[in-house]
Amino acid sequence: MNDAPRLIDWLDRLASAHVLCVGDVMLDRFVYGEVERISPEAPIPVMHIAREVVTVGGAGNVARNLSALGTATRLFGVVGDDPAGREAAEVLSFESSVSLSLTADGGRPTTVKTRFIAGGQQLLRTDEEQLSALSDGLINKLCGFLTAAVSDGECGALVLSDYGKGLVTDMMIAAAMEAATAAGVPVIVDPKGNDFTRYRGADVITPNRRELSAASRMPADADDEVTAAAHHLITSCGLGAVIATRGAAGMTVVTETDVVHLPALAREVFDVSGAGDTVVATLAAGLAAGMKLADAAQLANVAAGLVVAKVGTAVVRADELADGLGGAPGLAAKIFDRVAVQERVAQWRARGLTVGFTNGCFDIVHPGHISLIEQASAACDRLVVALNDDGSVRRLKGDGRPVQQEDARARVIASLAGVDAVVLFNEDTPMALIEAVRPDVLVKGADYALDEVVGGDLVTSYGGRVVLSDLVDGFSTTDTISRIAG
């Protein structure tokens, strides 16, 4: 991509941008398992449930994607006054870049979407929801909050994430457009329904191919059809631009004067859940940072290609975008936080790959460490290496340790060919991470007995195995440090 160096230069600036996101917040559950037989009661598969992952969808997923890019985000939404609403709020509370303004409405439940997945294939989706209207009083109250937030001088872009669940009403849209126009803030709309005149005045609207065709009442398959349908909406609905997401055909960016077709960049497609949210979030972050629409759309197209290669309602980080643009050395893309490594492990498992796990301080890497990682890598398809953070090393090894800070140690381990993911942990043991990852293979050095391996009982309890790697004599980080000290 010829524009890659210029787009990469923008990535750091996304962290200084501010976006306000308004929309329907939902809870997404992903139930993973295996199908080995057909039910004797009906011609349907019997699924053995292995695990469940809970995250947020709708505007909540837009906020998660913005947070993954480092963009400061304020999220306005409504959930039910129920366990699902509180769970959604808890999930979002872990997003350090997101400021929550969630209202709990006792008049209706939180929307919950549950997807059942086996062998990388979605078998069924269930929706729990009640689409009763929010009260005029609540909408008026939220409109006041929205107007104040848009006008605070920090907001760089406003997202309306309309999933048709009752928050993005005509009154809310009108208040958003009026406040954004007065503040000079661009408005990006992820639309719902067939009447796009509701969004009159929006700077960008992001329908998929089906939505574009329904709203314009025109075919929208070939490039020229998409362009004609988009131009019709721009003229009839008073829109600044239409960015049509077209799946395998990529994206088409249409303004009154320009048309750009961006080819799809995905190499593999595992799950399209929430891909539109990723596009909207990346667009908004780019525009809030000062990017031109065409550049922000290119960035969003790269993000779309990355997110559909993941499983579940996933996000794309800035370092992954850099890697996707061809500008990262590859190391940053192998270093994860706790939530992100669970998502990557889910992706591997959906492909039928076995996951291994080993851990250590890895302060000064020596041949013993290399041998451990080589043996661990040989025992699985994908290897996760858990690394004690600086505080954990200090508690375990004493003052003066670690010699190398955690970022340096993580990059060294990530540079090894046998390592697929590196994740830091701040506890004294990796038990919490082992519970989160649930590896198929747990590897430690043979200087441990099997019953001494942290997490060994857990791994064997669900059918995994513990492997003790052969030791390489004569190498010790502590001895090396002592020799250097003289």
Range from 247-251, 396-400, 435-439 that averages highest in pLDDT: 435-439
How do residues 306-354 score in pLDDT, each as one tens digit? 888 776 667 888 878 887 887 444 566 688 888 888 888 887 887 788 9
How do residues 216-268 score in pLDDT, each as one tens digit? 999 999 999 999 999 999 999 999 999 999 988 889 999 999 999 998 875 55
Q: In terms of residue numbers, what domain contains 28? A: 4-328
The encoded tokens of residue 377 equal 């890598």
365 — pLDDT class (breaks 50, 70, 90):
confident
Which among 251, 212, 219 has a CA at the least distance from the CA of 234? 212
Which among 31, 42, 44 has a CA at the least distance from the CA of 118? 31
pLDDT at residue 413, as a whole number? 93
The reply to whether 299 and 425 lie within a common domain is no
Mean pLDDT of 189-212: 95
The encoded tokens of residue 44 equal 């349907």
The reply to whether 222 and 361 lie within a common domain is no
277 is catalytic: yes
CATH of the domain at 86: 3.40.1190.20
- Phi and psi at 442, nearest 5°, equal -115, 125
149 — pLDDT class (breaks 50, 70, 90):
very high
Alpha-carbon span 169 to 196, nearest angstrom: 13
The reply to whether 375 and 304 lie within a common domain is no
- Give the range among 65-69, 161-165, 176-180, 305-309 with minimum mean pLDDT: 305-309
1 — pLDDT class (breaks 50, 70, 90):
very low
How do residues 405-423 score in pLDDT, each as one tens digit? 888 899 899 989 889 999 9
Quote the Cα angle for 455-468-460, to 5°: 40
Beta bridge partners of 98: 73
128 — pLDDT class (breaks 50, 70, 90):
very high
| Among 28, 271, 277, 363, the one annotated catalytic | 277
Percent of the chain having pLDDT more than 90? 62
Can you list the positions of beta strands (E) in 90-248? Answer: 98-105, 112-118, 121-128, 157-161, 187-190, 204-205, 241-245
The reply to whether 269 and 349 lie within a common domain is no
pLDDT at residue 187, as a whole number? 98
The reply to whether 317 and 378 lie within a common domain is no
Residues whose CB is less than 8 angstroms from the CB of residue 168 and which lie 6 or more positions away in sequence, other chains included: 22, 23, 24, 160, 161, 162, 192
Alpha-carbon span 401 to 1, nearest angstrom: 44
CATH of the domain at 418: 3.40.50.620
What are the helix (H) ranges across 2-135?
Answer: 4-11, 59-68, 83-93
Alpha-carbon span 294 to 298, nearest angstrom: 6
Percent of the chain having pLDDT more than 70? 93
Does position 389 have pLDDT exceeding 50, yes or no?
yes
The reply to whether 297 and 389 lie within a common domain is no
pLDDT at residue 282, as a whole number? 95
Sheet holding 241-245, edge to edge: 98-105, 72-80, 18-23, 157-161, 187-190, 204-205, 241-245, 251-255, 259-262
Which among 269, 262, 278 has a CA at the least distance from the CA of 226? 262
Mean pLDDT of 281-287: 96
Burial class (CB in 10 A: 0-12, 13-18, 19+), 307: buried
